[in-house]
Amino acid sequence: MELTVQIKYRNIADSNVILNMIVSYFTAFLVLISSSLLETTCRLANTLKSHGIQKGDRVAIYMPVSPLAVAAMLACARIGAVHTVVFAGFSSEALAGRIQDAQCKAVLTCNEGVRGGRLVKLKSTVDAAVKSCPTVQHVFVSQRTETPTVMGELDVPLEEVMSSQSAVCPAEPLDSEDLLFLLYTSGSTGKPKGIVHTQAGYLLYTSLTHQYVFDYRDGDVFGCVADVGWITGHSYVVYGPLCNGATTILFESTPVYPNPGRYWETVQRLGISQFYGAPTALRLLLKYDDSWVKKYERSSLRTLGSVGEPINHEAWHWFHSVVGDGRCPLVDTWWQTETGGVCIAPRPAEDGAPIIPAMAMRPFFGIQPVLMGEKGELLSGNCVSGALCISQPWPGMARSIYGDHQRFIEAYFKPYPGCYFTGDGAYRSEDGYYQITGRMDDVINVSGHRLGTAEIEDALDEHPAVPETAVIGIPHDIKGEVMCLTRQPIRNQCFLSFVSQVVKRLPKTRSGKIMRRILRKVAVETSGDLGDVSTLDDPSVVGEIVDAHERYRKRRAEEEKKKK
């Protein structure tokens, strides 16, 4: 059985004091933990300490969404160990690469995971990974299912050893800039990047954004359906809500298991106040009959949120009008693993301020967005498009790439000196609001016209025959580039030059983002390495796309031959 559970954070006497806040108006920050979660966290923390894990050590967490996974993160934080959560579905090679890069001293895992009605063998994946990871001294194994576990030399039965540990574990005093966690994102070079987040600034920023972006109030039930293996799960399943004393939801299943009403049944059963999900899931669900939504009571909902990539208009209006009955503000949030928390969103705003569909709109407190031109010039005024940068630091920003600070500087600060370069493009409207237009490397230049892929995909997705679209640019001798789109071709509705290819699935990360660079490399027939694909939800989709493109290429060649 797959679980949807609540973790309640209440104000109690015990607290973890975060020292030396990086902003002058905060001198201390208290993380208050409910008695049951505190006990589990302390027992797990003492288990780690009894096996030699101490401040500064790195610990990999390869577990499904579960209360114990949250406790594992908090236990590491409590003793000053640095956790790196790896999505419990990545291959042994992907897991091993992250363990090796972080030089992890221990791994926490489960015998199996449960997802979409199927069992995922986690322990065997860890076993294969640690064979090439000499730094790992212990593998702590939890029993998620009843399947017996074959224990090896490094293995420690987690529940068994935790039961004999004390339920009290004093929090380690930590500096504001001590490492809190590493989170690996995909890299085009084939080597994933270990993004570094530190103690005080990250916790401050996640707590504030959680409160003000989503209008969190005492007693609310916050429902973010993200996996803890990516940044949204860190910031808005674990740290942000729990810092604010919120009841937070853990969602272990998928949007369509056992049926397409799973999200909304959860809203009814748990009385969720804020629902935060990804456009890719919404686009999937809106293809089903609205009865799957309307059969469930959703009056508890007060705020809806979208995260992962720009939400298209069709999904926005369905989410707002069908799920939210047209009464819940919908915040389309823009942020990144590197920013730590939401940077641009419709809220906070004055009462009655407008929310424009499918637009991130307003910068959060302390965020100073700027748009930069192709020659590195600052673009002033409104009604302009450019590279989205942030011109001053904020508490939640990443501090480095683990073990490679020069790569961090070159990727984020060298392109536009004096600014943090997000890698995204944006449009600033006549009213000064920000519209995210997609990744800068996804901009297509057709006959001198720069076109954002997000805008084109939004238009194509409006067609009822198109489940989802990804648009990339490919070289063209005359036009410079032409569009290449996947999924359902609609030639009679487009006036721009393009080629189309239908595939069964698109390559997506666990956060729901389409990895367009893979499509681009396949489309231009780049041989060899496709870069890091370990963050894909299902890496086997790459082979499907390569095969489909090969069939497409042969068909086009035959058509050209007949013309001659």
Which of 161, 179, 197 marks a domain boundary?
Answer: 197
Report phi then psi at 305, rounded to 5.
-140, 150
- CATH number of the domain to which 527 belongs: 3.30.300.30
Residue 205 lies in a domain: no
Could you say which of 171, 197, 223 is where a domain stops? 197
E strand or H helix at 39:
helix 35-50
For residue range 52-76, list pLDDT tens digits in order: 999 999 999 999 999 999 999 999 9
- Reported as a pLDDT band with limits 50, 70 and 90, residue 26 is very low
Give the end of a domain, one of 197, 215, 250.
197
Beta-carbon contacts of residue 123 (< 8 Å; ≥ 6 apart): 109, 110, 111, 112, 141, 149, 150
pLDDT at 503: 72
pLDDT at residue 442, rounded to an integer: 59
Query: Does position 105 have pLDDT exceeding 90, yes or no?
Result: yes
Of 167, 147, 154, the closest CA to residue 126 belongs to: 154
Which CA distances in Å does 222 have to 228, 240, 323? 15, 10, 16
Type and span of the H or E element at 386: strand 384-390
Is pLDDT larger for residue 335 or for residue 115? Answer: 335
Q: Is residue 131 part of a domain?
A: yes
Average predicted confidence (pLDDT) for the chain: 85
Query: CB–CB of 459/503 below 8 Å?
Result: no
Looking at residue 20, what is its pLDDT? 34
Taking CA atoms, 63 is separated from 104, 229, 365, in Å, by: 15, 9, 34
The pLDDT confidence band at residue 489, using thresholds 50, 70 and 90, is very low
CA contacts within 13 A on the Cβ side of 498: 26
CA–CA distance, 264 with 330 (Å, rounded to integer) = 16
> What is the reported pLDDT for 280?
87
How far apart are alpha carbons 178 and 181 in whole angstroms?
Answer: 9
pLDDT(515) > 80: no
pLDDT at 460: 66
- In this structure, of 325-339, 399-413, 529-543, the range with the lowest mean pLDDT score is 529-543
What average pLDDT score do residues 350-375 get? Answer: 94
The CATH number given to whatever domain includes residue 167 is 3.40.50.12780
Q: How confident is the model at residue 19 (pLDDT cuts 50, 70, 90)?
A: very low
Per-residue pLDDT averaged across 309-317, rounded?
92
Q: What is the number of other CB atoms lying within 10 angstroms of the CB of residue 498?
A: 20
Residue 89: per-residue pLDDT = 84
Q: What is the model's pLDDT at position 272?
A: 98
pLDDT band at residue 493 using 50, 70 and 90 as cut-offs: very low
- Residue 485: which pLDDT band, with cuts at 50, 70 and 90? low
Task: Give the whole-angstrom CA distance, residue 471 versus residue 456.
Answer: 7
| Dihedral sign (CA 390, 394, 396, 397) | positive
In-domain check, residue 96: yes
Residue 39 lies in a domain: yes
* pLDDT at 250 > cutoff 60: yes
Structure tokens at 557: 């060649």
d(CA 197, CA 214): 22
pLDDT (average), residues 232-249:
96
Region at 265 (left for phi over 0; alpha for psi -120 to 50; beta for the rest)? alpha
* DSSP conformational letter for 322: I
- How confident is the model over 428-483, as pLDDT tens digits? 999 999 999 888 875 555 544 445 566 566 666 666 666 677 776 666 544 445 55
Half-sphere exposure of 91 (CA within 13 A, CB side): 11
Q: Where is pLDDT greater, at 352 or 140?
A: 140
- Asked if residue 547 belongs to a domain, the reply is yes
Structural domain total, the chain: 2
Q: With 50 as the cut, is the pLDDT of residue 235 above it?
A: yes
pTM beyond 0.95: the answer is no
Q: Which domain holds residue 470?
A: 459-563
The CA distance from 151 to 111, in Å, is: 10
Give domain status of residue 295, yes or no: no
> In the structure encoding, which two tokens stand for residue 496, read together?
């721009």
Place of tokens 């390869």: 62
Token digits of residue 31: 């993380």
pLDDT of residue 543: 78
Residue 79 in this model has a pLDDT that exceeds 70 = yes
Please give the DSSP secondary-structure letter assigned to residue 417: T
Q: pLDDT at residue 17 above 70?
A: no
Mean pLDDT of 36-51: 97
Strands 58-62 and 82-85: parallel
Residue 179 is assigned to a structural domain of this protein: yes
| pLDDT for position 538 | 73
Residue of higher predicted confidence among 173 and 35: 173
- In degrees and rounded to multiples of 5, residue 532 shows phi and psi of -75, 120
pLDDT for res 224: 98
- Cβ-in-10-Å burial (0-12, 13-18, 19+) of 554 comes to exposed
Read off the pLDDT of each residue in 134-162 and give the average, rounded to a whole number: 95
Cα(204)–Cα(19) distance, rounded to whole angstroms? 12
Q: Is residue 257 part of a domain?
A: no
pLDDT tens per residue across span 258-307: 999 999 999 999 999 999 999 989 999 998 999 999 999 999 999 999 99
In this structure, which amino acid lies at residue 337? T
Q: What is the largest CA-CA distance in the chain?
A: 82
Rounded average pLDDT over 194-201: 97
Residue 546: strand, helix, or coil: helix
Cα–Cα distance, 505 to 264 (Å, whole number): 25
Q: What percent of the chain has pLDDT over 70?
A: 79
The answer, yes or no, to whether residue 113 has pLDDT greater than 60, is: yes
pLDDT at 23 over 70: no
pLDDT above 60 (res 518): yes
